[in-house]
A and B are shown apart, each in its own frame.
Chain A
């Protein structure tokens, strides 16, 4: 027997929402059961997002001899891992994530915001303290004046990670100098962009880093209250934040005389109620004040007159998570990463048609191509990627030809997209660019608060044109109307939602006009996505007559006897595509 009784083990199971969706909680439970037979000391603990979401559920096993990362673990695999690896001393090679895969995924990353994600137990303040947590707060309170803290943040070059990229130090300084009392620090955790999960992951994996960032911000600005405005759709993040708040209060890090110093700071959680526009700072303030979340004209900026008319600084989750690292390691260490104007790192949620989707943090200035092909391993299907969507509904689509574009605020802006909060969706040839534009515009016109006419009605009219095009009923002249309306909506909206809503339309028109033209002139959707322009049919030679498609068809458009090839009645078919999804023989074709 190779059993090594002197070994002590640490087993970490990734239990952020992605891990839980992949069955992580059950895996955790299975370990608990099977570990009863292990005599060697084992510490089983939950951790947050390890980053390799495409390999969930993830389990990291470590001992003094090394660290092993298992991917796609399910409850059935747990017993063998315990038996062979922990008791037998031999890792189950076939389920380990190969070292070169980990290297490709990790080597280009620099983890500052994600320093503790997937490393510590997010529900344990002791874990956070062991990894240097609250040392930055201690340092700031002990050795730095508020202005020195702001100076350090300014020198680091940190810019707002919610998307706008406004220099954080400048915002803090304005709030500090503004007259009014009390002052507020708001953490914007209303991550509403579809396709974005950076803030959720950070809150679920390392909530204390955000609290510490807020505390430092409060000290720097002379604020006494912090509010975290978090989406109600993120129940796990809220739960872990509440726990973290309690733990920090118990230790005297939040409340009266923080860490025994002459600084009082309280933090509350406010749950959003499902309105995308509340990610806009003035709308967010309205929402906290208990009103409909409708943006107002700026100036005055919240740093002058924010919550309840008092000076308020609103920063994003990721921005706050950077702060303790910068205070501990110094502005120069942070500014050493990135480009001249975009310092440090940026977290991205890599998803869509990508082989290795997950949560990544890269130095600013890395190229889009490097992210997609090197870190992400290219598309799922293995074909070249067609485009990358950055910045969600406020952003745009960047074509594969521009893969060399460095990811920094200025370069991405020049393409017509924005860095945004960090949603990065990779698309292959199956994505129709008109459909993508329609998808985002449908979202923004739905989420428009209705205050500005152009945003409310203009975006609606734009959507109608896109709908016509995807039905094959559009005309070339309408493309001009679309562009004209897009410019008007941008110019005549008072908040970021309306000002940026046309971006997905404008960028797809700029880079994929040909695809629009094919819809208009040939009534064809090259990606075979637009329902009115496609037809489903069953290839008789491939169809075994299993009847699965017939069972699933919602409109009984499919006929055929058992074991005989089936057929689809195009007149009845609503082109939902369910038949093609359920067919095991790939017999349903789209033309």
Chain B
């Protein structure tokens, strides 16, 4: 996997830049980790150690933060991230079925990445689009009023789009 290599080899400079941008204040550990995740898609182990060293915090504390907040990932995500809303309205509207259908179409289990590395399917608490329930986001773009068939179309269009842009 490319991002891992990159995190080990060349990223320390980038991580330092992120840390110094936030002035190395203790309160800024979370924004620093958020920015690291924005850059790599996850928080690489090398980054945890670097942030600890540079900001004067124990790496165990950083690990504690990363595992406390659900936003942080310790594994690189797939090329596409699908977030399935499990808020109240979506739950009543059948988000379990939507999840089932998405897992089928992407080949990824809920909470996991597909073997081909193309899709990560995540369950999220609430996207705040309850009147469009059930809803999901695909790479940050929101889709609403779904059913098991329409999510299939969405997944397929993502696959096709990426084949097109590559070839």
Find chain A residues with CB under 8 A from B29 CB.
Answer: 290
Q: Does A254 contact B (CB under 8 A)?
A: no
Q: Does B14 contact A (CB under 8 A)?
A: no
Q: Does A128 contact B (CB under 8 A)?
A: no
Find chain B residues with CB under 8 A from A192 CB.
Answer: 125-126
Find chain A residues with CB under 8 A from B16 CB.
Answer: none
B30 & A290 in contact (Cβ 8 Å cutoff): yes
Selected contact of A200 from candidates B100, B128, B144, CB within 8 Å: B128
A349 & B130 in contact (Cβ 8 Å cutoff): yes
- Asked if A581 meets B148 with Cβ closer than 8 Å, knowing A17-B142, A351-B89, A554-B100, the reply is yes
A21 & B129 in contact (Cβ 8 Å cutoff): yes
* Per-position binary interface string of chain B over residues 114-131, scored 1 when its CB falls under 8 Å from any chain A CB and 0 otherwise: 000000000011111111
Q: Does B167 contact A (CB under 8 A)?
A: no
Find chain A residues with CB under 8 A from B100 CB.
Answer: 554, 576, 578
B30 & A287 in contact (Cβ 8 Å cutoff): yes
Chain A residue at smallest Cβ distance from B101: A578
Find chain B residues with CB under 8 A from A53 CB.
Answer: 131-132
Query: How distant is the Cα of A289 from the Cα of B133 in the complex, in angstroms?
Result: 35
Chain B residue at smallest Cβ distance from A574: B100
B96 & A576 in contact (Cβ 8 Å cutoff): yes
* Per-position binary interface string of chain A over residues 327-356, scored 1 when its CB falls under 8 Å from any chain B CB and 0 otherwise: 000000000000000000000011111000
Q: Which residues between 398 and 425 of chain A lie within 8 Å of chain B, taking CB atoms?
A: 423, 425
B88 & A273 in contact (Cβ 8 Å cutoff): no
B26 & A194 in contact (Cβ 8 Å cutoff): no
B148 & A552 in contact (Cβ 8 Å cutoff): yes
A292 & B91 in contact (Cβ 8 Å cutoff): no
Q: Does A22 contact B (CB under 8 A)?
A: yes
9-residue interface stretch from A4-12, A232-240, A484-492, A514-522: A232-240
- Asked if A292 meets B97 with Cβ closer than 8 Å, knowing A22-B145, A54-B131, A200-B128, the reply is no
Q: Does A459 contact B (CB under 8 A)?
A: no
Q: Does A56 contact B (CB under 8 A)?
A: yes
Count how many chain A residues have C-beta atoms less than 8 Å from C-beta atoms of the other chain: 62
Query: How distant is the Cα of A290 from the Cα of B129 in the complex, in angstroms?
Result: 29
Q: Which residues between 237 and 294 of chain A lie within 8 Å of chain B, taking CB atoms?
A: 270-276, 287-293
Query: How distant is the Cα of A195 from the Cα of B131 in the complex, in angstroms?
Result: 9
Find chain B residues with CB under 8 A from A273 CB.
Answer: 30, 33-34, 69-72
B64 & A22 in contact (Cβ 8 Å cutoff): no
A293 & B68 in contact (Cβ 8 Å cutoff): yes
B26 & A18 in contact (Cβ 8 Å cutoff): no
Query: How distant is the Cα of A447 from the Cα of B125 in the complex, in angstroms?
Result: 10
The smallest C-beta distance from A551 to any residue of chain B, in angstroms, reads 10
Find chain A residues with CB under 8 A from B13 CB.
Answer: none
The smallest C-beta distance from B17 to any residue of chain A, in angstroms, reads 19
Q: Does B143 contact A (CB under 8 A)?
A: yes
Selected contact of A351 from candidates B33, B130, B148, CB within 8 Å: B130
Chain B residue at smallest Cβ distance from A354: B131
Chain B residue at smallest Cβ distance from A237: B128
B144 & A22 in contact (Cβ 8 Å cutoff): yes
Query: How distant is the Cα of A4 from the Cα of B142 in the complex, in angstroms?
Result: 39
A292 & B27 in contact (Cβ 8 Å cutoff): no
B65 & A291 in contact (Cβ 8 Å cutoff): yes
Interface centre among B65, B94, B125, B148 (most CB of A within 10 A): B125
Query: How distant is the Cα of A195 from the Cα of B144 in the complex, in angstroms?
Result: 14
Query: How distant is the Cα of A54 from the Cα of B129 in the complex, in angstroms?
Result: 11
B27 & A195 in contact (Cβ 8 Å cutoff): no
Find chain B residues with CB under 8 A from A443 CB.
Answer: 125
Find chain A residues with CB under 8 A from B142 CB.
Answer: 17, 20-21
The smallest C-beta distance from A237 to any residue of chain B, in angstroms, reads 9
- Asked if A275 meets B69 with Cβ closer than 8 Å, knowing A351-B130, A578-B100, the reply is yes
Chain A residue at smallest Cβ distance from B62: A290
Chain B residue at smallest Cβ distance from A358: B131
The smallest C-beta distance from A494 to any residue of chain B, in angstroms, reads 17
Find chain A residues with CB under 8 A from B25 CB.
Answer: 290
Besides the known contacts A275-B69, A582-B148, 8 further A-B residue pairs in the complex with CB atoms under 8 A apart: A56-B131, A192-B126, A194-B88, A194-B126, A357-B131, A439-B88, A578-B100, A581-B94
User: Could you write out 27 A-B pairs with CB less than 8 Å apart?
Assistant: A17-B127, A17-B129, A18-B144, A22-B145, A53-B131, A194-B125, A195-B130, A197-B128, A197-B130, A233-B125, A233-B127, A275-B70, A290-B65, A291-B61, A292-B68, A351-B133, A352-B133, A357-B131, A392-B88, A425-B130, A431-B92, A578-B97, A578-B148, A581-B97, A581-B148, A582-B147, A582-B149
Please provide the 5 A-B residue pairs with the shortest distance between their CB atoms, ordered closest to farther. A53-B131, A195-B88, A273-B69, A194-B87, A351-B130
